[in-house]
Amino acid sequence: MPPRAAISNGIITLVIVFFMILLGLLLKARYRLASEPIVPKAVAVTEVPKAIPVAVPVQETVHETRAYKQGDWWVLPSPELVDSRANEADTLRIRSGPKEDVFVLYFVDAAETSATRVTRVREQSTFFSKAPQEDVLKTGLQAQAFVRELLKNHPFKVYTKWGRVPESERYYAFITVEMEKGQPPYDLGEILVRKGFAAPLGQQTAPLPPQLLPTDKYVAQLGTAMTAARNEHAGAWAYAK
């Protein structure tokens, strides 16, 4: 075979071999990719939500385990009074479900039980027409004992917005007490004012829970209760000068 023809044949042979190798690689890659499982990574991450939906506040979910919502208010339907040295007539440790919280009554300020709060005791003495400070403290202890006995022996409910008392872990609330089965409950704050155990001077809010009067009528009712207590010399009013 002439040298030129041999060279041509060699080049053609190399080209054919090259294309055969390339075809083999393409076929191999095609079948390998077809047999490999396809993992949709984005779907695997988002198919099963692992957290609480954004639309549901975490705090509300926590409260739902021991209370139910009624308008703007959370209602603790079956609370229990917890004995505590820090309890006063208007400041009470309450257990609901597995948790305990300290609640301070709206709209009222009960007589103090300790002389350590000098300014508050002095202010309360002035409010109760200059009743001696020791008698204000004595009234505070009487009020504390009265509320303990009342809540230990009568069903009650707590209404709260979980609004915190400034610089504390306590929450503002209303407490209603079922004095007689089947009868409308009484507001604990009004009871304290009526007995001369408290002044209608606490933190206010609006609107009130539906079980109570509208705010303006509720304030007027507290004023009526205070006037009756003063006229009857009830509680701290008995020591007024």
In this prediction the pTM is 0.74
Question: Prior bond to 207 cis, omega within 30?
Answer: yes
Is 49 among the domain residues? no
Could you list the residue range(s) of the whole structural domain that residue 126 is in?
68-239
Is 34 among the domain residues? no
Q: Residue 108's pLDDT is what?
A: 97
Is 5 among the domain residues? no
Tell me the C-alpha to C-alpha distance, in Å, between residue 221 and each of 109, 190, 204, 211, 225.
16, 8, 14, 14, 6
Is 39 among the domain residues? no
Is 159 among the domain residues? yes
Mean pLDDT of 149-169: 95
Is 36 among the domain residues? no
Distance CA 225, CA 48 (A): 58
Q: Residue 78's pLDDT is what?
A: 87
Distance CA 94, CA 78 (A): 10
Write the pLDDT tens digit of every residue in 121-137: 999 999 999 999 999 99
Mean pLDDT of 215-237: 97
Mean pLDDT of 200-212: 94
Q: Residue 39's pLDDT is what?
A: 41
Distance CA 105, CA 82 (A): 16
Domain count, the chain: 1
Is 127 among the domain residues? yes
Write the pLDDT tens digit of every residue in 30-69: 544 444 443 444 433 333 333 333 333 335 555 666 788 8
Task: Write the CATH number for 223.
Answer: 2.40.50.90
Is 52 among the domain residues? no
Write the pLDDT tens digit of every residue in 170-203: 999 999 999 998 899 999 999 999 999 999 999 9
Confidence check: pLDDT of 14 > 70: no
Average pLDDT, the chain: 83
